Amino acid sequence: MPGGSAKPVREVWKPGRRVGDWAGRGAGRARRLAESADAFARTRLGLTVRAPGRGGRIFLATAGGAVVLLGLGSVVLGIGGGPAALRPSQPAAATPAVTAAAAPRPPVTELAGTPIAATRTYLLTAYAPGSGRRAQVTAAPGELTVGRHHRHLPRRGDDRLLTSEIVFPLLPAPARCVRRVELRLTPLASQGELGEEGPYPLVAYPSALTGLASGTIPATVPRLDLVTNRPRGDVEWSSHDDPAPAAGGAELTADITDLYQRWAAGMPTPTGVASVPPGTPLVLALRPALTNVLGEWSHTYGGADSLVPPRLVWTRWARCA
């Protein structure tokens, strides 16, 4: 109009005009408006503008080292603690479950058997040949005495050797399945000094007095009262390491595996003849290893009827029948 300010011409949609033209023009105006707002925020307000997308704006301002987030549009208001607050949050990585692999167990090769207690115990007292005194066997259910009383060489008079005879039932397993057999003894008392008799002064031998297995005491003791002197079981105790056995001491052990295997097989001679009837309960002779040296000492162990009887502790091969 002449002489006056021009009024903006308002466009009116008319039939036949495409809707896309109107939409395009509207989007252009919105973009220009956003750019003007961004420029105003930067130049006048000192804000930093971020456009995360989805039609919104984030205005960032610092206040005392903290970052203040002012969201417009689809962005939510928030306050962070510095530049790290601007980083997009990442979902926490799932920690993989750590499964400790169980160490493979070694294969079971042997099983423990039930310990076997002695059923009978005896004392064999053997005197020096020519002394005029005969060897004799007496029952000793409460206490077993082992030792030597030799004051003369050669032996004479009252010199004597004390041997404990111990009877055990056979193990409830075939001999081929037996892995290990140990004789266990509990010391009760000690007298005298052992002296220099080596690390294993006591030995378990296979006894020739097999009648003791059934409770029969021989009227006459044979001069050779052992089936053989090999194999044998050495009692693992040393006079150099510990004092003599005392009451309540720990059990003493002798490995008699080979002896038991031979006994169960009948104690065959080199020609294959059995020395012991098959099925005979095990009879052990426990005596000093050295029989012809000077010395006066004795040890006492629990007998078959005591609270601490001699025992056989044994194991067997697994999967053997």
- Report whether pLDDT(190) > 70: yes
Residue 241 and residue 145 share a domain:
yes
Residue 51 and residue 142 share a domain:
no
Residue 165 and residue 311 share a domain:
yes
* Cis amide bond preceding 243, omega within 30: no
Sign of torsion, CA 193 197 200 206? negative
Residue 127 and residue 73 share a domain:
no
The pLDDT of residue 172 = 96
- Report whether pLDDT(129) > 70: yes
Report yes or no on 47 lying in a domain.
yes
Residues 60-67, mean pLDDT to the nearest whole number:
47
Query: CA angle, 50 as apex, 49 and 52 as ends, to 5°?
Result: 155
Residue 30 and residue 133 share a domain:
no
Q: Which of 8-22, 241-255, 299-313 has the lowest mean pLDDT?
A: 8-22
Q: What is the pLDDT of residues 137-186, one digit of tens each?
A: 999 999 999 998 887 776 677 789 999 999 999 999 999 999 999 999 99
Cβ pair 308, 184 in contact under 8 A: no
Report yes or no on 114 lying in a domain.
yes
Residue bearing the bigger pLDDT, 59 or 301: 301
Residues 209-216, mean pLDDT to the nearest whole number:
96
Which residue range forms the structural domain that includes residue 67?
20-83
Residue bearing the bigger pLDDT, 192 or 47: 192
Report yes or no on 205 lying in a domain.
yes
Residue 124 and residue 60 share a domain:
no
Q: Alpha-carbon distance 42 to 162, whole Å?
A: 114
Mean pLDDT computed over every residue of the chain: 78
Cβ pair 210, 280 in contact under 8 A: yes
Residue 312 and residue 235 share a domain:
yes
Q: Alpha-carbon distance 271 to 269, whole Å?
A: 5
Residue bearing the bigger pLDDT, 295 or 313: 313
Residues 199-221, mean pLDDT to the nearest whole number:
92
Q: In residues, how long is the chain?
A: 321
The pLDDT of residue 78 = 41
**Exposure string over 13-24, b if 16+ CB within 10 A, otherwise e:** eeeeeeeeeeee
Residue bearing the bigger pLDDT, 307 or 52: 307
Report yes or no on 208 lying in a domain.
yes
Dihedral through CA 236, CA 226, CA 293, CA 137, nearest 10?
100
Report yes or no on 290 lying in a domain.
yes
Q: Which of 83, 102, 129 is the last residue of a domain?
A: 83
Residue 307 and residue 161 share a domain:
yes
The pLDDT of residue 273 = 92
Q: What is the pLDDT of residues 74-123, one digit of tens each?
A: 444 444 444 444 445 555 566 555 555 678 888 889 999 999 999 999 99
Report yes or no on 66 lying in a domain.
yes
Q: Which of 83, 101, 132 is the last residue of a domain?
A: 83
Count of domains forming the chain = 2
Residue 281 and residue 176 share a domain:
yes
**Amino acid in position 98:** V
The pLDDT of residue 49 = 56
- Report whether pLDDT(241) > 60: no
Q: Alpha-carbon distance 70 to 57, whole Å?
A: 8
The pLDDT of residue 13 = 47
Q: Alpha-carbon distance 41 to 257, whole Å?
A: 99
Residue 204 banded pLDDT, cuts 50, 70, 90: very high
Residue 49 and residue 135 share a domain:
no
Residue 146 and residue 265 share a domain:
yes
Dihedral through CA 102, CA 105, CA 111, CA 115, nearest 10?
-50
Hunting for tokens 């804000």 — which residue is that? 47
- Report whether pLDDT(27) > 70: no
Report yes or no on 5 lying in a domain.
no
Residues 31-39, mean pLDDT to the nearest whole number:
71
The pLDDT of residue 22 = 46
Residue 283 and residue 134 share a domain:
yes
Report yes or no on 62 lying in a domain.
yes
The pLDDT of residue 66 = 46
